[in-house]
Chain A
Amino acid sequence: MKKRIVLSAIITAMGMLFAINGCVSTRVAEKSGSELWSDNCIRCHNAPASSVYSPDQWEAVAMHMRIRVGLTEVETKKIMEFLKAGN
């Protein structure tokens, strides 16, 4: 009984998510650095602003996050360029 409630709650939630996100179908690779930054860098922690690190430091951090999070190479490059340019 409890399992069925949990299951239907999950299915309903998934349905709602697809409804909210259904209209977005841009290819990830076509997105800009700033868009990728705001999409991705809020998923686990608050997104850091570009002023937090120097361009050189961003290179190390971007590599760290690429490996830890499993970001694609293109995403990582674009986000890193966006953060480095803000300095």
Chain B
Amino acid sequence: MNMKTFTLLTTLFAISSSLWAQNTSTEETNSSGNSGDTKFVLTGYGYSGMTIEGKGKEQKSTFGETGFAPIFIWKASKNLFFEGEVEFILLGEGLDIELEYANVNLIMNKYMTLRAGKFLSPFGTFQEKLHPAWINKMVSKPLGFGHGAVGPDAEIGFDLRGGVPLGSSKMNYSLYVSNGPILRTGVEEENEAGMLEYGNIVDNNKNKAIGGRIGFLPFSNSSLEIGVSAQTAKGGNNDSIFFYNKKNNAMDALEYNNIGTKSYALDLSYVKSLAFIKGTLDIKGQLNNVTVDKADYADLIDSTKYSFKNVTQSYYVQLAYRPNMLRNKFFNKTELVGRYSALKSPEESKWGEEETQLTIGLNYWASWRSVIKFNYQITQNGGNESEPAILIQFVTGF
């Protein structure tokens, strides 16, 4: 840990402990009868589906990804809270078990909550607020927002966050310090040199990632939220990589200790029930941009080194309409959704690609968090022919 992060962390602790002390002492004098009681809820969701991919003779279909995610939430006292989620997913070769998050939260005062542990990354809104299958209106995640996402999906560290009223507007913020990304140097997976790996349990260096998001809701009906996020971190460590460089006919060393990463995201959400369209309009979007400093990587097959401009970008826009004000009990549970997403990773890297995707969906909401989704999706990868798919998913929250 460097001096800057250490100072930041200690200041944070000093402020938080003093604020908490003040807060608890005032609360003790006016606490209501049942404060301190533990309130526990076991919640979560499960899903399964089917995928039909390709055209004509090439068409394949499979009963798809199936998952079960129990979530444990505890309100331990007036200002202490815990959330934990384990996700079991059947995909590809087998069962994948993941601790999605586990964190302790301390509400220090009206405007500040401090949490520690593993948490969904506050960077942008998709990972933290929109990705669960019963919330995501599509079967798939937008390009660059699924596994191997552009930008962080989870953090292990500390996060200070809260909501602040501003008269007829309001804002919310999050400021975190975490292990941050690890730069893949191509030693293990040669084709992934220059990629970033997120949600790291053990950091590879003493530098910590610092990131945050500010959300602003200008209208008193909270219909619109605009958010800006940023994160800065070092991705490499002090280990040098030695390889035989044909050009010099000698061993060459590659260093990554100063390779920094800078990311930013913009997000937007507009949701409003509108009488004149007899339903709810929901617009969402996010843009992620990740820049990694230029570095040399070894091409072990050619025995040369190469480098590239390492910028990855992805975005999505989604529009949904649910005529929930209609009297008809069938149609008021249906929802129409359209989404466009795009991903562009560095052309000269070994993992570079340019993809776009259009998804049209029809949902039927059996309850507030049980849904059947029907999607038609067309993915275009570079100059290749477009790949159509039909995706069906059943989800239920509990």
Interface residues of A in 39-55 (CB under 8 A from B): 39-40, 42-49, 52-53
A74 to B111, CA, bound (A): 11
* A24 B73 Cβ-Cβ under 8 A: no
* B135 A44 Cβ-Cβ under 8 A: yes
Residue of B whose beta carbon sits closest to that of A52 = B368
Q: Return the contact of A43 from the options B81, B111, B115, B222 (Cβ within 8 A).
A: B222
Residue of A whose beta carbon sits closest to that of B128 = A68
* A28 B172 Cβ-Cβ under 8 A: no
Q: Return the contact of B163 from the options A53, A57, A72 (Cβ within 8 A).
A: A72
* A67 B113 Cβ-Cβ under 8 A: yes
* A46 B369 Cβ-Cβ under 8 A: yes
* B113 A48 Cβ-Cβ under 8 A: no
Interface SS of chain B: strand
- Given the known A-B contacts A52-B368, A67-B81, are A43 and B164 also in contact in the complex, defined by CB atoms under 8 Å? no
B interface residues, tally (CB under 8 Å): 53
- Given the known A-B contacts A44-B135, A48-B368, are A28 and B165 also in contact in the complex, defined by CB atoms under 8 Å? yes
When distances are taken between beta carbons in the complex, the residues of chain B under 8 Å from A72 are 110, 163-165, 170
Query: Interface range on chain A: under 10, 10 to 19, 20 to 34, or 35 or more?
Result: 35 or more
When distances are taken between beta carbons in the complex, the residues of chain B under 8 Å from A73 are 110-111, 163
State whether the Cβ of B142 lies closer than 8 Å to any Cβ in chain A: no
When distances are taken between beta carbons in the complex, the residues of chain B under 8 Å from A57 are 39, 41
When distances are taken between beta carbons in the complex, the residues of chain A under 8 Å from B75 are 59-60, 63
State whether the Cβ of A7 lies closer than 8 Å to any Cβ in chain B: no
* B73 A42 Cβ-Cβ under 8 A: no
Q: Return the contact of B81 from the options A28, A45, A49, A64 (Cβ within 8 A).
A: A64
Residue of A whose beta carbon sits closest to that of B83 = A64
State whether the Cβ of B151 lies closer than 8 Å to any Cβ in chain A: no
When distances are taken between beta carbons in the complex, the residues of chain B under 8 Å from A63 are 73, 75, 81, 107
Give the Cβ gap from B181 to chain A, nearest Cβ, in Å.
Answer: 23
State whether the Cβ of B221 lies closer than 8 Å to any Cβ in chain A: yes
A27 to B110, CA, bound (A): 18
State whether the Cβ of A21 lies closer than 8 Å to any Cβ in chain B: yes
- Given the known A-B contacts A28-B220, A60-B74, are A43 and B269 also in contact in the complex, defined by CB atoms under 8 Å? yes
Interface string of A2-43 (1 = CB under 8 A from B): 000000000001000100110011111101000000111011
Give the Cβ gap from A76 to chain B, nearest Cβ, in Å.
Answer: 8
State whether the Cβ of B40 lies closer than 8 Å to any Cβ in chain A: yes
* A42 B168 Cβ-Cβ under 8 A: no
Residue of B whose beta carbon sits closest to that of A22 = B219
* A25 B105 Cβ-Cβ under 8 A: no
* A67 B219 Cβ-Cβ under 8 A: no
* B368 A26 Cβ-Cβ under 8 A: no
Q: A64-B81, A73-B110, A73-B163 are in contact. List 6 more A-B contacts (CB 8 A).
A: A17-B270, A24-B168, A44-B130, A61-B41, A61-B73, A71-B172
